[in-house]
Amino acid sequence: MGTSSTAIFSDDIACDVRDEFIELLSIGASPIDATQSLIQSYASTLQDIDDAPVFWLALAATQWKYGCLSRDVQTRAIEVIDSGVDLQKWEGSSVVGRRQAVLLTLKEKLLSPQPALRRPPRRKKIVVASNCVNAPDGSAHATAFELEKSLHPNAPRMQVFVEMEASGSRGGGGIFVADCEYNEVSLEWLNSETLQIVYPISATLHDQKQSLFYYGRTIQIIYQSKDV
């Protein structure tokens, strides 16, 4: 996990939670379904004493901004703030007081009337035909594509995005981010609910989800590294 300052979204996990929630809203998921999808996707994170508080704080802050803060997420975030559990990893730091002030400001916001419900602009689906693989039953597809420039001197940052159909709706999210060429990553559906991702052993990994949940459907992800 990377943390650059005391701000709520200075943490890698906080940024991922925010971005994925917004992504789900932008493709038509309801706030309830987007929340459930994240809870399923971040199941292992929610078992971590340091990362779980970050998840709830980031999700609550994002939901409030978009006018869809649920009572349960609000309660969990405020419990994190009131218990002081988030401050444990800041103990001994010269900025622990600053982090506490950030949390108290967030608590005040979460207890205030939230804005009217709004959705982010609908984003265009990213398709890279040369590395887009459909599930055997055609109800899902995985796409590897170049995401942005990276700090890696010899490779851009790439992402694997999965989109699937479930309960008459279509949605998904990013599952894998690494510094390497997107066409060095191979995608193979072992069955309609299991995706295998093979990536270069030299790649620098930034995100590696073990599953993706959407509308009651779960795609399992299996990873292998290889020499190129």
Q: 128 in helix, strand or coil?
A: coil
> What phi and psi, each to the nearest 5 degrees, are found at residue 194?
-135, 125
Looking at every residue in the chain, the average pLDDT score rounds to: 89
> Is the Cβ–Cβ distance between 12 and 106 less than 8 Å?
no
The C-alpha atoms of residue 39 and residue 162 are separated, in whole angstroms, by 17
Q: What is the pLDDT of residue 1?
A: 40
Q: What is the pLDDT of residue 28?
A: 85
- Residue 4's pLDDT band, with cuts at 50, 70 and 90, is low
Domain boundaries, the chain: 8-110, 129-226
Q: What is the pLDDT of residue 125?
A: 56
How many residues appear in the chain?
Answer: 228
Residues contacting residue 21 through CB under 8 Å, at least 6 positions apart: 34, 35, 38, 59, 62, 63
The C-alpha atoms of residue 93 and residue 90 are separated, in whole angstroms, by 5
Least confident of 8-17, 128-137, 201-210, 215-224: 128-137
C-alpha 173: how far from its chain's center? Answer: 8
